Amino acid sequence: MVATFDGKSVSVPDSEVTALRIFTDMKLLSYVLSHGHPAVSYFIYSILYYLNIVDTVLTFIVPFALIAAMNFMIGRSIYLFYARYRLQRRASGHNSDYKKSSGEELLA
């Protein structure tokens, strides 16, 4: 390929032309992303806006919801364990006569 630099024609191999095109495309993309082409920047900022909302929900709200659910389950299990314990004590008749269950009749 023949390229013109400063009014002089220079023969450039095709591999270097391809590398130059890739480099130019990368510089153009970098410029557009940094300076903000209206169509591209609106698209990118709209994606970043929704990504920010999703990130906020995932990092702040979900962990607190999981902690609240975990605390509820732990409290419920402790209450049910104690309720079952009380029910078993009541069903076995331990509370009907405290002297018999405590062994005080043996001392008298």
**pLDDT, tens digit (0-9, with 9 covering 90-100), for 23-81:** 566 666 666 666 655 666 677 778 888 888 888 888 888 899 999 999 999 999 999 99
Instruction: State the pTM of this model.
Output: 0.41
Q: Above 90 in pLDDT, residue 82?
A: yes
* Closest by Cα among 29, 51, 53, 49 to 40: 29
Q: Above 90 in pLDDT, residue 88?
A: no
Between 77 and 103, where is the model more confident?
A: 77
Question: Which distant-in-sequence residues (6+ apart) come within 8 Å of 99 by Cβ?
Answer: 105
Question: Which distant-in-sequence residues (6+ apart) come within 8 Å of 70 by Cβ?
Answer: none
Return d(Cα 102, Cα 21) in angstroms, integer: 94
- The domain segmentation of the chain, as residue ranges, is 1-35, 37-93
For tokens 């400063």, the residue is 6
Provide the 3-class DSSP secondary structure of residue 9. Answer: strand
